[in-house]
Structure 1
Amino acid sequence: MKIRIDINMKKIIFSLLFISFLAFSWGQEVISGLNVNPQLIKNRLTEKASFSEHEPVHLPFIDDFSNYDVYPSEKLWIDKNAFINNTYCVNPPTVGVATLDALNQFGEIYSTMQATATPADTLTSRPIRLDTLFTPNYRPINIEDSIYFSFFFQPGGGMGEPWALLGDKPESNDSLLLEFGYKTGEWVIGEIIEEFIIIEDFLEVGDLIESPCEPDTYITIEENLFPEDTLWFVCDTIMIPEMVWEMVWHTKGMSLQELYDETGQYFKQVLIPITDEKYLNAGFQFRFRNYASMGNNSLPGWLGNIDQWNIDYVVLDINRSEADTLYKDVAFVNSAPTILKKYQQMPWNQFKGFQTEELTDTLRMKLTNLDDITKNTSFNYYVYEDNGNLVY
């Protein structure tokens, strides 16, 4: 369907303001957080922005972030701001966490970051069919089904000696929060697609100009335009269902040492009951958000990736309770170790001929049992070539 929109053209005049900055020199080197994420930068060229209506998922919703990295799985999440990794966390429930920090999906610091706490990353679920149970029996979901949402969280920064720290701890004015969202039934503007033309020749009232939105469509000029004027056109408007977001949980920034001293745990589990029927619809969503602050911008190295939070083992399901804190799961805690004695990797010409000296004779893996019942567990090692051929 084509819609003719009358556009009131106005000249846009840009003025440039030049500001001189006083440069400070510092007498010593400083250590600061990375101001980019190399892994996300590497993936930027393969990422394409898109808008789509996301297919809802069914209960149970479970993600322990263990079988993929860098970006959240599109099967469960709709955005890519959180960083999936196993390097910013200490003793997670299972290998792999979602880290919320001050970097966007391309590994760059958000341009809105400032000294005060500012919204940074968001991790948003796909729509969830919280109105219907599909297995084992197809039936409506109701409040009596005892629906609980749970997750584990850890403030970033690590703990212990300075050389053992991982990232940066959130300050007391920073925060991590969880929001539940539901559709109101109304439609709102989700995206406006615009194009512009820079005027090259003088145009007076009554002249025609071709629309950049639709070829062979011309619009009558209603105001004199001069060279280098900019003329904007609204080409399309995308409507989306209106979502209302409500904060259901939050915590202020702290260090991992403070969390451990308070709870005796490296990750703290949170359980939240869903008791409001407005959430029992076909488009229920939840999202994690963090607020981060860059600190004092008069100091060297103030601009860096800071205020990390780690999230793990997200579960949403029925037939749960506040005592539902255990899981029938035995999992790896860390990534597979290197087979070398002293290094993570080394050049082939350095390794060749010194296999006996360089290869370790023992590989140690840390596992976790999330249940209170002893599990008899075994595992095997496999070695593959780059082409996928099994070596050992």
Structure 2
Amino acid sequence: MKKFTFNHISFFQLLVLFLLFLISELTAQPVLTRPFFNATIADAYSKHISLKSNDDTLPIPFFDDFSKTGVYPDNSLWLDNNVYVNQNFGIHPPSIGVATFDILNMAGQIYSHASSNTFIADYLTSKPINLSYFITYNSFSYPTNILFYYESATGIYRPADSLYYYSGPYLLNCVVQPGTFTPTMHVYYGSVSLIDVSDSLYYYDTLTSQYVHIVRYTTSYYSLTDSIYLSFYFQPQGLGGNAPESNDSLVLEFKTPLSDWKHIWSSPGFSDTIFHKVVIPLDSIYLVKGFQFRFYNYASFGNLNYPSFASNVDYWNLDYVYLNTGQRVNDSIYPDICFKEPIRSLVEPPYTSIPWEHYKILDTLQIDTLRFNYYNLYSSLVNVKRFLTINNITNHQQLRFDSLGNDNIGPFETFQFKQKTQPNYFPDNNLNKCTFEVLLNITAPTLSSQSIFTWNDTLRFFQNFEYYYAIDDGSAEYGVGLSGEGSQNGQFAMLFKTLTPDTLRAVDMFFNRTLNNASQKYFYLTIWTVNKGKPNHIIYKKTGFKPEYAGINEFHRYSLDTTIYVTDSIFIGWTQTSTDLLNLGFDLNYDYSSNVFYNLNGSWTKLPFNGTPMIRPVFSKSQIINVEEEYMPLTFIPYPNPANNKIFLCDEHICSYILYDITGKIILQGFSQSIDTSPLENGIYILQIFHNKQTSSHKIIIQHP
């Protein structure tokens, strides 16, 4: 199947898109439009809203390329959740993932103040950053039972039995449960008031009979000679397809605790599919503790004369936001090996998902070749190691952890990986449905000490085998349908071929929400037989259906009142009852348009737009009972830290994890509630945890007695 990008849209199709808004009331035709509502964000909104972080000022380097899993910005770096973090809307971004500015709020709905006049839509605001000074931790370790706290108010040295420290969630006494005091550890006086006295600790030197202050760190101050720059990449339009107009703009502002927001940079709207780099040097007035920067977009709502067309507009994609010392205006060198495109389905095209019972019968549906690209953004030759992990999420089992070898990649080069797949990635089991987690990792030991870049070296994909066939990837970049005079009885049909005879029980469809739900018009759910590759006789036609927007999986399931036994191929779609656009979701990443037809005047015509309508037939020999899985936010902090023999990853749930050493080498990888760390050497490690389609990263210290 052809991978679709915006560049595949022909001039004729662009002309059609423009003319649609001019003649939609005059003639019937197939229509392509943009989503008004983002159901992915709406589904995540209530789950995310309570997870915001409230840390103090951040140190530099500050870096975010929006490669972490989730639809909201990383709340350890950003204060607000307006932009949409995704891996679908950017065209050839610097690294995997972008932050998309549009006219939808954090709940995935259009802003209430949106209008055809220019208005401010999304904000992306950094947390306060310390550009005044930085600290360097000294190297030491002392047993906690020899510590003293100097209480300046009384002049008394308080002994260790009055001091406490945390090991994971547990508060321990420095004498009763001794540990090791290290530079980044916090020690508290009193078991109730818990006064942090980490900077006022001493040990007693018996040789000199003196108390010696333990200096945890040294402080250095930034100046203009440190060359602190903020750089980022931006792209108007992107795969979303709607370019911001010239009166729209993307804006950058700076702020300090003693000043208001100040305009620093902006770009007027224009049409493009290239990422443009911007580098901003920081003046001395911003070298303070509490510096902040923010992006926001000015937008203007589109044509409001036809509500069923009203949709999301004025896309800007932001990527690779980097604030650090030692940069230059023309710098384009980063110590980073990264992915730029997401991994797609591992089953044979045209499918992205297949009913699990069908897949188990036919063992030839796994792709025969694994392909992906990665990129060297550095100026030197780098050796890169590759790994593939597959976990069965449904029964909590790691199925494989495979090395995919290693190769050198030259400076600023792209490496195109291609290798025959091993058999049986997704082994048979006695379940009715199953979900597999697929992880691809690349590591470069010579670069991986740059831990801020580690997120973009992992691709994560969920291979779902439930009850339906899917040809789309679940992302609606556009909407599609029929509209205009003469379309009242129009028909829209999509071809499906079942791989084994089975009973069709329902149809899943994803409709884009429109302004005031204007597209929520009744239609006939219609199913046809196939003749010479086109719809033929109607075998099912039922009214009483209309676009619905709520649902566990974002798609709405339309159950059939009469089941249909399908032995081969059918067409599924609808018959209109009005001239309004129903606005079905349309995926631009896969092109199935040669199997999609519409009928306005008695003859069937192929859809003129490249992409895939978001329709999924649901098969099962018995009635399907849906049970909603409980959502558990990834708020658990691994403990103990420092650790000796074991680290607990999750409380009551099993998580997949990757543990790296400080050079970026993968040390351990698995699927468990805990990690046995007894074989590991003392030192610092980076732990990535994956659970519920979320990720978190933690610095772990292994410290054996």
TM-score in terms of structure 1 length: 0.70
Equivalent residue for 1:151? Answer: 232
Whose relative contact order is higher, 1 or 2, with alpha carbons under 8 Å and at least 6 apart? Answer: 1
* Residue 99 (structure 1) aligned with residue 115 (structure 2): no
- Where 1:103 maps in the other structure, the secondary structure is coil
SS of structure 2 residue aligned to 1:183? coil
Query: 1:251 is aligned with what amino acid?
Result: S
Alpha-carbon contact 2:99-2:319 (below 8 Å) kept: yes
Letter matched to residue 154 of structure 1: Q
Q: What aligned pairs does 1:1-392 form with structure 2 within 5 A after superposition? A: 28=28, 30-48=31-49, 54-135=55-136, 138-158=219-239, 166-184=240-258, 244-257=260-273, 266-275=274-283, 277-342=284-349, 343-356=351-364, 358-386=365-393, 387-392=395-400
**1:374/1:350 Cα in 2 relative to 1: closer, same or farther (>3 Å)?**
same
Q: Which runs of 5+ in 2 are unaligned?
A: 1-23, 138-217, 401-705
Which SS does the other structure have where 1:180 is aligned?
Answer: strand
The amino acid that maps onto 1:181 is: K
Give the counterpart letter for 1:362 in structure 2.
Answer: T
CA distance change for structure 1 residues 62 and 52 in 2, over 3 Å: closer, same or farther?
closer
Distance in 2 (alpha carbons) for counterparts of 1:121 and 1:284: 20
* CA separation of 1:127 and 1:336: change in aligned 2, threshold 3 A: same
Q: Separation in 2 of the partners of 1:285 and 1:302?
A: 38
User: Could you say if the C-alpha distance between residues 283 and 33 of structure 1 is closer, same or farther in structure 2, counting changes exceeding 3 Å?
Assistant: same
Q: Indicate conservation of the 8 Å contact 2:52/2:75, yes or no.
A: no
Q: Deviation string for 1:318-369 (max 9, x for gaps)?
A: 122113221011101112221111122121022121121x111112112122
Greater shift in the superposed pair: 315-324 or 87-96: 315-324
**More displaced stretch, 86-95 vs 132-141:** 132-141
Label 1:269 to 1:52 Cα distance change in 2 as closer, same or farther (>3 A): closer
Conserved? CA contact 1:30–1:301, under 8 Å: no
Judge which range, 295-304 or 67-76, deviates more.
295-304
Kept after mapping to 2: 8 A contact 1:34/1:305: yes
3-state SS, counterpart of residue 138 of structure 1: strand
Alpha-carbon distance in structure 1 between the residues aligned to 2:354 and 2:79: 38
Q: Distance in 2 between matches of 1:315 and 1:60?
A: 7
Amino acid of the structure 1 residue aligned with 2:357: N
CA 1:377/1:54 → structure 2, altered by over 3 Å: closer, same or farther? closer
Amino acid aligned to 1:278: I
The count of corresponding residues between Structure 1 and Structure 2 is 294
CA distance, structure 1, for counterparts of residue 297 and residue 127 of structure 2: 19
Aligned-partner Cα distance in 1 for 2:396–2:221? 46
Distance in 1 (CA, whole Å) between partners of 2:82 and 2:245 is: 21
> Mean Cα displacement is larger for which, 102-111 or 360-369?
360-369
Instruction: Give the Cα–Cα distance (whole angstroms) in 1 for the partners of residues 260 and 118 of structure 2.
Output: 23
Deviation at 1:132, TM superposition (A): 1.0
Deviation at 1:47, TM superposition (A): 4.1
Q: Which amino acid aligns with 1:373?
A: S
The Cα shift of 1:167 comes to: 4.0
Structure 1 contact 170–309 (Cα < 8 Å) conserved: yes
Q: What letter corresponds to residue 156 of structure 1 in structure 2?
A: Q
**Partner Cα distance (1:104, 1:272) in 2:** 28
**Structure 1: which 5+ residue stretches go unaligned?**
1-23, 159-165, 185-242, 258-265
Query: d(CA) in 1 for partners of 2:131 and 2:256?
Result: 10
Structure whose alpha-carbon radius of gyration is higher: 2
How much does 1:375 deviate?
2.5
- CA apart distance, 1:51: 9.5
CA RMSD, Structure 1 to Structure 2 (Å): 2.2
Q: What one-letter code is carried by the residue in structure 2 that aligns with 1:142?
A: S
Distance 1:49 1:167, change over 3 A: farther
Task: Note if contact 1:116-1:295 (Cα within 8 Å) is conserved in structure 2.
Answer: no
- Residues of 2 paired with 1:141 and 1:183: CA distance? 17
Percent of pairs with identical residues: 37
Task: Tell whether the 8 Å contact from 1:337 to 1:363 is kept in structure 2 after alignment.
Answer: no
- Greater mean deviation of Cα atoms: 72-81 or 48-57: 48-57
Change (3 A) 1:51 1:154: closer
Q: TM-score, normalised by structure 2?
A: 0.40
C-alpha distance 138-388 of structure 1, shift in aligned 2 (>3 A): farther
Q: Is the 8 A contact 2:302 2:313 kept in 1?
A: no
Paired with 2:344 and 2:363, the residues of 1 have a C-alpha distance of 17
